[in-house]
Amino acid sequence: MTKIYKVLLLSIILTFSFSIALSQEASDSLDVIAMPDSLVIQAILDSLDNLENQKDIIDYEAYKDLFNKIDSYKTNSREDFQFDSPNANIYSAQDHYFASESNNFIVRKNGFTELSNTQASYMKLQHYNRFYKQTHSAGIYSLEKEYYQLPVTILEAVSGLGDYDLGTAYFAIKKNHFRNKYNLDARMNFLKANLYYGEELASNSSVNLLAPLYEDIKLEVAYNSVSYEGPFTKLLPAFRISEAIFEENSQSFSGLVKSKYFDFGIKYSSEEYRKIMPEILKQNTSQFILGKEYSSEDFRLKTSYEFFLKDENFYSQELNSLSSDINHLLYAELDYRKSTFFTENRLLLSEPYQVNSSSKLGYSFNDDIRLYLQTDFSKSRKKTNLFPDNPEWTALITDHTYLNENSYLALGSSYHDSTFYLQGNIGLADIEFENISLDSREEYSALKSELEASIKHKYNKYSINYNTKLKGYYELDGYDMMLTPALIMTNSLDIARDVGYNNYVKAGLSHHYGASYYGFEDNFLVSYQDTSLLDAYIGFQITRLFELRTSFKNILNRDIIYGYKNIPQSVIVTVSWNFIN
């Protein structure tokens, strides 16, 4: 038995042993002898005698409530378990993502709009998933910094090891309150993830800083770096020239000044892609942004204008996403809520021409029940020559297709209380499918339905959390769905038992299903088989700072996911640890 399997076997045995032990009632040896209230109060008063000013008292209050807040500052999506990205149908394994080609969307990071590159846009979420908080609206994903507000330093470490050299190592430091200066937020992240079965290796890092300059003026600085080696299947169809491993090296630096009257920022990004074309593909972009956000109790308006200067030897075009040849871009968000009426609006316009918009108009019957009308629209102009400096490279492209769901009108409702959440809509979608290489286009209509529900319930010492998501298309014109499954459904169940003193035993199941669909490979129509994946995990949490988990991936041993090679049945052991100073 190899060394890695010995480690995995020992980790599984330890996990189950600890789980069984912790699931029993806490023994007398764990009892904490409580001090009389009078002694506690006296100890607090004694400690306050040495405090110099009111800020120190605020520090004390923050320390007292620290462990009630610490959960909100843990890394996003640290579970690495569920298909948990809204509308993207992403499957993750040790910080590596798998998704269908239809899962392309516009990404905004650190307040700047990201241009397309050689890969599908879900790869941006893979590279930055643990670094940023994700929000989704109208086909636009926003990756925003989640500023750290506590006065103590937090270090976070996540490491994992699994079959087929599945491995991950993540480190983050979060710091505020430098030399008695408040509102100075610094965060550094580093991630290294291996997936040698799929021949993938990633090394990503980021540094974020928020600093007050003068009164209402703040400076946000961000640096990101990505070094990645992956299979050709992670490239957009137009760049799958050879079945080889490609390499990405990219860096970006941005500075954003926020004032009372306007926001102004500059971003520079440099990207290189090797082993795709005969020469290195390069994309260097200087980006300028001017914008402002206005808000009141009922109203919020966020607007921005972006100008791009580029030096590149290729254009990039994704399904339903933003082309890389953009020169000017306008973006706006408008939210309004008054009494029982609410509206949410998103609009993106660019030159060359591209529009992406979403509007939601609704009525709240009470705090729990809402009824709304939603409309989405997107339209873009695509280029056939992706290589302006090397037109002969266009002959190397064997396939370039895209699916543009250019309009969607839906009626939906939602219900939410402390234990149950339900949101669903059904509407009419006009879908445009195009194959540029074959110079062919098809248009058809479909009924589109989306449903999301969750139940959270506590019974004695048990906490149960069930989630389900469904997205489906029904073709009204008799066409077969292209490039996207007609039905995608995800179900997950998590159970945790409280064994006292913030210790928990946890277990869960997650199942994902994607219907078969048609795609193009080398200009030939191919059918991708159904996707059905089952995962499970068991683990335990010691206080709010330490967690050990054993995950069982791809229990059904499916070879293919969305038409690509999937990871085999795998066992992954992951440790998450937070340090407070």
What's the pLDDT tens digit per position in 472-499? 999 888 777 788 889 989 898 999 999 9
Lowest mean pLDDT among 9-13, 111-115, 323-327, 340-344: 9-13
Q: Write the DSSP string, 391-413.
A: GGGGGG----EEEEEEEEEEEEE
Pick the residue with more confidence: 34 or 227? 227
* pLDDT above 90 for 461: yes
- % residues pLDDT > 90 (the chain): 33
CA 575, CA 168: separation in Å to the nearest integer? 10
The residue to which tokens 């890695």 are assigned: 4
What pLDDT shows up at residue 336? Answer: 95
* pLDDT above 90 for 50: no
What DSSP character marks residue 318?
Answer: -
- Type of residue at 194: N
Q: How is residue 195 written in tokens?
A: 């997936």
* pLDDT above 90 for 462: yes
Summary mean pLDDT of the chain = 81
Residues 237, 213 contacting (CB under 8 angstroms): no
Q: Write the DSSP string, 477-493.
A: SSPPPBSS-SEEEEEEE
* pLDDT above 90 for 311: yes
What number of other Cβ atoms are within 10 A of residue 286's Cβ?
13
CA 159, CA 169: separation in Å to the nearest integer? 4
What number of other Cβ atoms are within 10 A of residue 389's Cβ?
10
CA 90, CA 123: separation in Å to the nearest integer? 10
Who's near 422: CB < 8 A, 6+ residues apart?
414, 415, 416, 451, 452, 453
SS3 20: helix
* pLDDT above 80 for 549: yes
Pick the residue with more confidence: 78 or 138? 138
CA 220, CA 206: separation in Å to the nearest integer? 13
CA 320, CA 379: separation in Å to the nearest integer? 8
What DSSP character marks residue 275?
Answer: S
What pLDDT shows up at residue 71? Answer: 64
What DSSP character marks residue 574?
Answer: E
Q: Which residues pair with 185 in a beta bridge?
A: 210
Distances (CA, A) of 74 to 119, 174, 258, 363, 539: 29, 10, 26, 35, 17
Q: Which helix (H) or strand (E) holds 65?
A: none
* pLDDT above 90 for 565: no
Lowest mean pLDDT among 185-199, 283-297, 373-387: 185-199
- pLDDT one-digit tens code per residue, 413-445: 999 888 999 999 999 999 888 877 777 788 889
CA 387, CA 280: separation in Å to the nearest integer? 12
CA 26, CA 91: separation in Å to the nearest integer? 37
CA 59, CA 369: separation in Å to the nearest integer? 40
Which of 151-155, 248-252, 415-419 ranks highest by mean pLDDT?
248-252
**Residue range 84-104: mean pLDDT, rounded:** 74
Cis peptide before 352 (omega within 30 of 0): yes
- % residues pLDDT > 70 (the chain): 82
Q: Is 445 left (phi over 0), alpha (psi -120 to 50) or beta?
A: beta
Which sign, positive or negative, has the C-alpha torsion 34, 37, 39, 41?
positive
Who's near 29: CB < 8 A, 6+ residues apart?
none
CA 564, CA 233: separation in Å to the nearest integer? 7
Q: Phi/psi at 40 (nearest 5 deg)?
A: -65, -45
SS3 548: strand
Distances (CA, A) of 311 to 101, 269, 290, 390, 554: 27, 11, 22, 14, 43
Residues 193, 168 contacting (CB under 8 angstroms): yes
Nearest one of 380, 378, 324 to 114, comparing CA atoms = 324
Nearest one of 408, 418, 368, 344 to 135, comparing CA atoms = 344
**Residue range 157-165: mean pLDDT, rounded:** 86
Pick the residue with more confidence: 92 or 536? 536
Q: Phi/psi at 568 (nearest 5 deg)?
A: -75, 180
* pLDDT above 90 for 334: yes
CA 281, CA 397: separation in Å to the nearest integer? 14
* pLDDT above 90 for 34: no
Pick the residue with more confidence: 93 or 64? 93
What pLDDT shows up at residue 81? Answer: 47
Who's near 65: CB < 8 A, 6+ residues apart?
none
Q: Which residues pair with 518 in a beta bridge?
A: 482, 527
